[in-house]
Structure 1
């Protein structure tokens, strides 16, 4: 059963999970060490709980307890209640809607397991380190009916607070896997996947021409960083290189916008 605890001192050691949330390096170290992540906002907390993630604690403005109590009560966890000004002194920023949750991480799905599932549509992400972009890509994939996201070894953490917030908690429901190394791209070809790389190369075909080429098969979109795009190893592993035609002198879109268009075009009728 959850225990409600009122706290007025921002230096209370029981709040360690929530300290200095804006400091990315510190948070990565802390969250990795303790196997936890932070969910921000009541809707995101609800989705984490509904997806089966086990809470370590919650930090709430009192007005949010009634709305979350039914989901939280079954767990033996502390619920720290404090005003939003005190919460800001703990975290280092204005807490969105005065609600944070600390949750235990679980081991991510392995790439082989994801490929062996019933998945037919995947988004592959190479070295995208911006957490906001990654969260937006995950939200696009989930919202447009894709089956999962595969991350390169150096890509951002989907369970970092900013990724979760931008994804609106869809990272809890969409399976994702992190590759051990780039050699694992070969698994897709062995399992019969058609890989479509989005890139500005001379041999790229318009994205709109691709659906007939992949109809009825298992398809994976490959996305690279905005600065450098996909590297030569990933491009060489692609079956098709496609581009979204631009106008008005614009050469490309933000990677999350490109992901949304590609997921829509290649997912229609799948």
Structure 2
């Protein structure tokens, strides 16, 4: 089967409360808004199987666990936490404790643990970061100016970090930074592509002033990680590539065209 649009994660923090007298670390599994725990392999599973350290940092994660209402600030987005939908990262597992990390709140390394880890040079080889909701530039509940300031702060910390020489940043925007796209998407299937999502590739060896017109999708980031670390392709990415090839279309790229790897 499949799920469409916003489904709540099965584990806390979740927009659905625990069942009365149920497991306090779970969302109520009887609620139809709750996605059942998923069991297929994620990019995290692939990295772990290869012995590559990784982490998902989430802004205001612990705050959301401690507060039922996260308010306009930090406005935690429960459904933006992909690994919180998977049984391998259920509460109480060693994988959850190691890989799903609270980034804290705000732009200060004293309160934002991602920035503290950047400054200390202790980021894992593959690091994902989802800022707290009020900083993600989503039209309607977040503003672009606050998000821009936060993105600039994170990038500046990375450029000063001892890990910068070997770092590639791939930055995407939530909801395109707005609701509208003046260009029609290319032909695809019923799942997309949808409106374009801006992406910036920032690295010491990124092509300077280069606009890449390669066809990408959001799984291109996963393709890039898989290529760099020699991972087996994820089932869903491989299936999509096969389907496009069968229709005579070129599968999306893996971001390397934006980098000078000579």
- Normalising by structure 2, we get a TM-score of 0.33
Q: Which has the higher strand share?
A: 1
- Structure with bigger gyration radius: 1
